[in-house]
Structure 1
Amino acid sequence: MTEYKPWLSLYPEEIPKELIYENQPVQDFLKKTAAEFPEKTAVHFMGKEFTYSYIYEAALKLAGYLQSIGIEKDDRVAVMLPNTPQSVISYYGILLAGGIVVPTNPLYMERELAYQLKDSGAKAIITMDILFPRVSKVKQQTDLQHIIVTAIKDALPFPKNLIYPFIQKKQYGIVVNVKHEGNHHLWTEILKLSSLPLSEQEIDFENDLALLQYTGGTTGFPKGVMLTHRNLVANTAMCRAWLYKCERGKETVLGILPFFHVYGMTTVLLLSVLEGNKMVLMPKFDAGDTLKTIQKQKPTLFPGAPTIYIGLLNHPDIEKYDLSSIDSCISGSAALPVEVQQKFEQITGGKLVEGYGLTESSPVTHANFLWDMPRIKGSIGVPWPNTDAVIFSMENGEKLPPGEIGEIAVKGPQVMKGYWNRPDDTEQTLRDGWLLTGDLGYMDEEGYFYVVDRKKDMIIAGGFNIYPREIEEILYEHPAVQEAVVAGIPDPYRGETVKAYIVLKDGNEVSEEDLNVFVRKHLAAFKVPRVYEFREELPKTAVGKILRRALIDEEKKKFTEDEEKQA
């Protein structure tokens, strides 16, 4: 750890500068909370509630079943589910069995799914009935031995559980019937069984993996990030310390962020179970449904991503809903435009601040203060307790003083063990204990950090370094703009040129010239986009992060094709 940590002087007295973590596996969160709050609601899902004692008993039953079909310590088990009670039970059941959880995006197509299952060596997968055909098709390419199948209806109250299959058939056009036999296992049959013997596994807190979390794979193939029990326990404890005004067992957390993404897993699933809070789970984001859910369930904590908050703000009926229950929101996964932050706070009366992290850091390393501190425009905040951060020069790797731009590096107990079966990638990313983030930024004199952009996303046009995030912030201030992303596209003269992709708010019109005039009022001429493209929607990850890289790849392909035609 470096000695120079100016941010520590900013901490309110309620946040400890150093935390001591219990030497416990992640599954102990559920064991202890179920003992303390057995009859408290752990999960609300589409009208049905599940207590902590139910979730724990179901997880124990699943764990015993997994061991009975051959799952041993450190075996990988994939979970390909949306946010449902089954996803919570699966997560803790796998850990109680001694396995390693491999979260898998339900939107993955066969090629993506086959790659992740093969790379992780998963022996079993827990998935939805409508995804069973997809899993079955790739099974022979992987080490999969068992498929456990559940359905949305398995978690619904009567009579929704009877009606839902008809809705599902209409929506997806298929009905999948799986028999509980051989290597195919039905969730409902497993939970009917008497509890099977469970051999408790001894966990090495420091070194044993709890999670094999795959990165988004926006460049190259996704990499499996090895996160230990200590990594996750530490980051969850940091999260609890940061939210010091939240009361144990009394908060309601809106669970829209998917659990197959590490941000949703830590800030919703792990934190809620550690604190005995109620999770209101939604299997997918829909602005209208979310507004109704907030009004009815009155969540107090709402971790999210910028596109989620933007989607709510631009819903035509937002003023009709009571959102006043929302007290605290930490935004992650992408830069939070200041305009979005301010509007969301005005409408809800709660606090929305930007945080920062990576899959490789479990994920959070920085955040702004939610309470009792002045707002710092454009900052990702300061490092969390027990977390260190520096700026390294891109030229010589030396630590830079405040105000100078370089690569952000972090160090702390939440930093990954490494990449699964990728020692070379691990060596490039972890250096002397520092996690090199790939993000360019700087620290100010007080200790607040700022991200100017991803190292790979920086645009070099005509010899100038241009940071897309700076331009995007200006575009978001235009009243007609709902979403904006800026990228460097090939240019035969300048090397790269600046292009802006724009999604307009419903009912709004604006021309390229209008936007050009607007941006020129705020930025130097060399930063102003030379090209604008208006789109109905932008490509995004499951968490709502805009895929800038996909747009750049489109442009490179077009540029190459144009060159070939000219040749």
Structure 2
Amino acid sequence: MNLVEPLLHYAMQQPDKIALSDGHESRTYLTLVQTMKKIAQGFKQNGLNHDKVAILSTNRIEFVEVFLGAIYAGCVPIPVDPKWSTSEVNAIVQQCQPKMMFTETAFEKNLILQNRKIQLLTFSAEGIGSYDNWLDSLKPEAEMDDTNELLFIGFTSGTTGMPKGYMRTHLSWMNSFEATSEAFQLNNMEHMLAPGPFVHSLSLFAIMQSLYSGATFHIVKEFNARKVLQLCKQIPDVILFLVPTMIESILQQAIPDQTQIQALISSGGKWSETSKNRCREVFGRTKLYEFYGSSEASYISYLDIYAENKPNSVGKPFSGVEISIRDEDFQEVPFGSIGQLYIRSNMIFKGYYQLPEETAEVFRDGWLIIGDLVYMDQDGYLYMAGRSKNMIVSGGLNVFPEEVESVLQQIPAIQEVMVLGVPDDYWGEQVTALVKWSGQQRLSIEEIKNYCRQHLASYKAPKQLITVDQFIYTSSGKMARQAMKDYTKRVMI
């Protein structure tokens, strides 16, 4: 079983249809499949057999070509984030030991390949080590290898520490593609756009979903709200995969009803109710969906923003996803009670690469432990209480930052907010809010407390307020909580 098999059919059925476009260059399904076979042939000639292939690159057509070529050959592609530090990149390369590596000229100088046997090829380079020259020397003769269940090794975005490699199988993603079609009521899948980094699972998944479905994927080198909106005006019925921070940037640029977006699908962080309401105003004819998932779990739950009036919910489970909410004794909790989320599905990952202990920690009796604390209402809708590792213990009581943040995000004067616990001799941890204001208005801590008391228990309200000019984000667009905690420690010294 090989995930790229449908591409072979599309190359025959719709050879001239554009598979990939970056606005300057494009690849038809026929040319993409020919290049995929060439690359696979190059791997075979270099003696690769189910070996690993690293890709250190920004968003570009060649990234996708190599990724597909590796999969077709039965090898295991490893996307490496160019925004990582030099030490992180080299640590991952040393850990994974790829037989071949593909990169860009800008990143080549930062590589320290301790294993001299790793062949390095560079995009847009000339002479020895040129990807183009290597590709020109090959013929599309390779046969597809469908004997390797492992699809690729991705790495978590490292919001709280060193990235871990998660292993995905062909079958888990194919099952996820089918779930997309079933859950999101899309008229067609002709054009897709996911402007985040390809090294992260949301955009990478969207690329493969697009190609698996025979659609055209539009590549954006790096996220730019104005550029994305321009594309959405030009491309009919485009399906957009975004994280909430991108949606906020787009809303600041958007003019109502000036796009042709078929569906806007959000993930990678909680989408605030304020932002959802604004999207309803700006993109009135666009289908709006939010889904909750992770690199390890794939899809968990989803919400149709128009069809379901469930504020702050992350929706109902996808078809085939079993949910169990349990306490510390592994006993299921009643509706409305907070507990640890466990899931079972045919979309979950295989485990963490070379980390058997960490893998064992996230599985229990066949259930995947997500690390999120949630509750479910009587209608079967899930609500996030918070991440167990983010939990604050203040005055002996548990406070989940995400719950407080969801309330503070309703205040118009607040553009962005993060809640954390700051060590305190009396409280143990003091609930503290880091706030980026949306305009000139500044609220006092007493005004913040008074607002929170309308929606939260009094002990959950922030006792301290810190204004920040800018938040720090990971390359996948998520708030870098650990970096912000470190920043807070520095400003409070």
Normalised by the size of structure 2, how large is the TM-score? 0.94
Q: For residue 145 of structure 2, what is the aligned residue in structure 1?
A: 201
2:278 matches 1:305: no
Shift of 1:215: 1.7
Match of 1:230 among 167, 171, 182: 171
User: Does the 8 A contact of 2:159 with 2:478 survive in 1?
Assistant: no
Deviation of residue 463 (structure 1)? Answer: 1.8
Report the Cα offset of residue 462 of structure 1: 0.8
* Contact kept? 1:441, 1:452, Cα under 8 Å: yes
Q: CA deviation at 1:512?
A: 3.2
Aligned match for 1:213, one of 148, 154, 159: 154
Separation (CA, whole Å) in 1 of partners of 2:425 and 2:98? 47
Aligned equivalent of 2:441: 509
Looking at structure 2, the residues matched to 351 and 486 of structure 1 have their Cα atoms a distance apart, in angstroms, of 31
2:196 match: 257
Match for residue 72 of structure 1? 49
Residue 256 of structure 1, CA deviation: 0.5
Counterpart mapping for 1:403-482 below 5 A: 403-482=336-415
- Retained in 1: the 8 A contact 2:159–2:474? no
Count residues in correspondence.
491
Unaligned runs of 5+ in 2: none
- Equivalent residue, structure 2, for 1:345: 280
Residue identity over aligned pairs, in percent, reads 26
What's the CA shift for 1:348? 1.0
TM-score (norm 1): 0.82
* Mapped contact 1:410–1:436 kept (Cα < 8 A): yes
Q: Once the 2 structures are TM-superposed, how far is the Cα of residue 556 of structure 1 from its aligned partner?
A: 5.2
CA distance in 2 between partners of 1:448 and 1:414 (Å): 20
Residues in 2 aligned to 1:425 and 1:381: alpha-carbon distance in whole angstroms: 29
What is the CA-CA distance between 1:258 and the residue it aligns to? 2.1
Distance 1:47 1:431 in 2: 49
Determine if contact 1:366/1:384 at 8 Å carries over to the other structure.
yes
Q: Which amino acid aligns with 2:179?
A: M
**CA separation in 1, counterparts of 2:144 and 2:404?**
54
- Find the aligned partners of 1:305 and 1:143 in 2 and give their Cα distance: 39
Report the Cα offset of residue 356 of structure 1. Answer: 0.9
The answer to whether the Cα contact below 8 Å between 1:25 and 1:233 also exists between their aligned partners in 2 is no
Partner residue in 1 for 2:252: 314
- Tell me whether 1:107 sits opposite 2:83 in the alignment: yes
- State the distance in 2 between where 1:536 and 1:190 align: 47
Matched, 1:139 2:113: yes
- In the alignment, the residues of structure 2 paired with residue 322 and residue 61 of structure 1 have an alpha-carbon distance, to the nearest angstrom, of 44
Structure 1 counterpart of 2:153, one-letter code: L
In the TM superposition, residue 37 of structure 1 has moved relative to its aligned partner by: 2.1
- Letter paired with 1:106: P
1:94 CA displacement: 0.8
Greater fraction of residues in strand? 2
SS of equivalent residue, structure 1 residue 381: strand
Match of 1:288 among 226, 230, 235: 226
Q: From 323, 327, 330, give the equivalent of 2:265.
A: 330
Q: 2:474 aligns with which of 510, 531, 541?
A: 541
Q: Deviations over 1:132-183 (max 9, x none)?
A: 1112xx212x5761112114xxxxxxxxxxxxxxxxxxxxxxxxxx5432xx
Contact 1:355 1:368 in 2 (8 A): yes
Confirm or deny: 8 A CA contact 2:160 2:480 kept in the other structure.
Answer: no
Distance 1:351 1:55 in 2: 31
Q: Does 1:96 align with 2:69?
A: no
Q: Which has the higher helix share?
A: 1
Using the TM superposition, name which of 331-340 and 64-73 deviates more: 64-73
User: For residues 493 and 370 of structure 1, what CA distance do their matches in structure 2 show?
Assistant: 43
Q: Which structure 1 residue ranges, 4+ long, deviate > 6 Å from structure 2? A: none
Match of 2:105 in 1: 129
1:387 maps onto 2:321 in alignment: yes
Residues 471 and 527 in structure 1, CA contact (< 8 A), matched pair in contact too:
yes
The 3-state SS of whatever aligns with 1:289 is helix
CA pair 554-63 structure 1, distance change in 2 beyond 3 A: same
Distance 1:298 1:47, change over 3 A: farther
Q: Give, in whole Å, the separation in 2 of the partners of 1:275 and 1:483.
A: 36
Name which of 280, 283, 292 aligns with 1:356.
292
1:483 maps to a residue whose letter is E
Query: Does the Cα contact within 8 Å between 1:410 and 1:437 map onto a contact in 2?
Result: yes
Cα distance, 1:298 vs structure 2: 4.3
Task: Give me the CA root mean square deviation.
Answer: 2.1
1:180 aligned to 2:127?
yes
Q: Which runs of 5+ in 1 are unaligned?
A: 1-23, 152-177, 563-567
Paired letter, 2:98: A
Which of 223-232 and 287-296 deviates more?
A: 287-296
Please say if residues 340 and 373 of structure 2, whose CA atoms lie closer than 8 Å, have aligned partners that are also in contact: yes
The CA distance in 2 between the partners of 1:557 and 1:492, in whole Å, is 18
- Kindly tell me: are residues 328 and 370 of structure 1, through their superposed partners in 2, closer, same or farther at Cα, counting changes over 3 Å? farther
Q: Which residue of 2 aligns with 1:149?
A: 122
CA distance in 1 between counterparts of 2:70 and 2:469 reads: 41
Give, in whole Å, the separation in 2 of the partners of 1:461 and 1:447. Answer: 31
Structure 1 position 192 matched with structure 2 position 120 = no
| CA contact 1:64–1:197 (8 Å) conserved in 2 | yes
Candidates 40, 49, 64, aligned match of 1:63: 40
